[in-house]
Each structure stands twice: as structure tokens, then as C-alpha cells.
Amino acid sequence: MAHVLVRSIVRPEKADAVLATLLDAGYPAVTKVSVFGRGKQRGLKVGDIHYDELPKELLMTVIPVDDKDFVVQRIMEAARTGSKGNFGDGKIFVSPVIEVYTVSTGKKED
């Protein structure tokens, strides 16, 4: 396995910071989609209102497996709120990728 998929679920207000961090670190290629998420806190209570699910951004980037630890750390630093983090800052899931192709060239990447 040469590549892994790093799937980050982050607060919408932190998505730009994560994208900037990835670009700075040399990982420009990212796919982004708006999602709704519910975590271990089972939503959010604000006064009398309970929100079952909260908007999040899902960021997906495929990277060489050897860069995994570095990239995960950079994403977590960019996505964390405050100095100690808070519930709802998000999750990162790393999954295997078998093959990567570039459509324009038709080539499989090493």
C-alpha cells in the first residue's frame, strides 16, 4: 500500500485553516463536502434547544503512506479550538487506498 486516504471531519469555521495548512505543507489536493455530524456528545444543547446534528466539513486527501503521521498532526493542530481543544473539534479516519489514477494522463500513480 503506497497511499492512504485521510478523512477529516472538522468544524466548518476551521476548514479554511486546515486547507491552508495542507497547502503550506505541500499537500494541495483535497476534496471537500459539507456534511452533518453527531458525535459522542449526541448533538448540542443551547438553552432549551437541542441540535441533534451539527454542520461539519468533510475533507478528504490521499497521501503517501509515509507522510501519514505528519499530515494527521498538522490537520489536528489546524482544526483544534483553543489551546486544549473542545468536544466537537472532529475526528480523523485513515483508510487504505489500493490504487490512484490521474484521469488526464490515464496513468496509475506509484
- Contacts with a copy of itself by CB under 8 A lie at 3-5, 8-10, 19, 23, 28-42, 52-53, 56, 58, 62, 68, 72-73, 75-76, 79-81, 84-106
Cβ 48 to a copy of itself shortest distance, Å = 20
Calpha distance 31→48 (Å, rounded): 36
Cβ 58 to a copy of itself shortest distance, Å = 7
Nearer to a copy of itself (CB atom), residue 46 or residue 98: 98
Cβ 96 vs Cβ 87: under 8 Å: no
Nearer to a copy of itself (CB atom), residue 47 or residue 101: 101
Residue 37 C-alpha cell reads as 455530524
Taken as a whole, the chain contains a residue count of 110
User: Which contiguous run of DSSP H or E holds residue 8?
Assistant: strand 3-10
Nearer to a copy of itself (CB atom), residue 47 or residue 62: 62
Cβ 74 to a copy of itself shortest distance, Å = 12
Calpha distance 73→76 (Å, rounded): 5
